[in-house]
Amino acid sequence: MPEVLSVLVKTPLSTIMDALGDPIRLKIVRMLLEKGEIACGGFDLDLPKSTRSHHFKVLRDAGIILKHEEGTSIYNYIDRESLEERCPGLLEMLTQAEPPY
Amino acid sequence: MPEVLSVLVKTPLSTIMDALGDPIRLKIVRMLLEKGEIACGGFDLDLPKSTRSHHFKVLRDAGIILKHEEGTSIYNYIDRESLEERCPGLLEMLTQAEPPY
DNA sequence: TGCATTGTTCGGGAAACTTCGAACAATGTT
DNA sequence: AACATTGTTCGAAGTTTCCCGAACAATGCA
């Protein structure tokens, strides 16, 4: 393992940016910003559920979304409070960014 | 080539986020934000110049930085104007984000 | 004309990411 | 109990990224 890598490791912020660097995950986040809560399957993404689940996990591990089981359904939603504390202005930036996203 | 990928391709915004998803590039951007212009070699990054050049290219291709040759030196600086237009609030967010970055 | 400096490009090998089907829980429904 | 639904996990394959040394411009200086 090269010594250089020990100098710069993944940080919370770079992890967040990395998670948002994928077009699919970025679309998921934007859908959540628009519609509030969405069940994992409630996306019009033509992807197998294993792929979807993977992307949701990346977003969860980055601290961007949380999930919330209510009865029979599992909803995903954006952890606005935590995000606003760690990256003030990020969510507002995402909603204001120019298309195409 | 899977059909699915034709639905969601890289977008300008996801490209920007992806570029900032690397700890090294994020550090470069933060240094530029603090110090204004910096020559490619003027970073205290313990990396060979080929690696450094690679990261600068990624940042340039994402439209985050520009370079500016002045006499013998080549300076890099952040394209604030263009960034502010495409991602309003991004630079402010980066400066306000909580450490560790 | 050499020589140093600075940055890019190329080629490879290693590591990480993305994607998918299949198998596996967990829950609700009939 | 049998089945459907929803989401996770696993393993494998393909792609991409990252990193580095080496070779290659381009410029300035001795």
CA-atom Rg of chain A in angstroms: 15
What tokens were used for B88? 């309003």
Instruction: Give the helix ranges, DSSP H, for chain B.
Output: 12-19, 23-35, 49-61, 80-86, 90-96
B40: pLDDT strictly greater than 90: no
pTM, two decimals, is 0.92
Q: Which pLDDT tens digit goes with each residue over A41-50?
A: 777 788 999 9
CA nearest to A2 within chain B: B47
Q: Can you tell me which residue has its alpha carbon closest to the C1' of nucleotide C26?
A: A72
Q: Report the alpha-carbon distance of residue B39 to residue B100 in Å, rounded.
A: 25
Contact criterion met (CB < 8 Å) for A24 and B15: no
- A47: CB within 7 A of chain C nucleic strand: yes
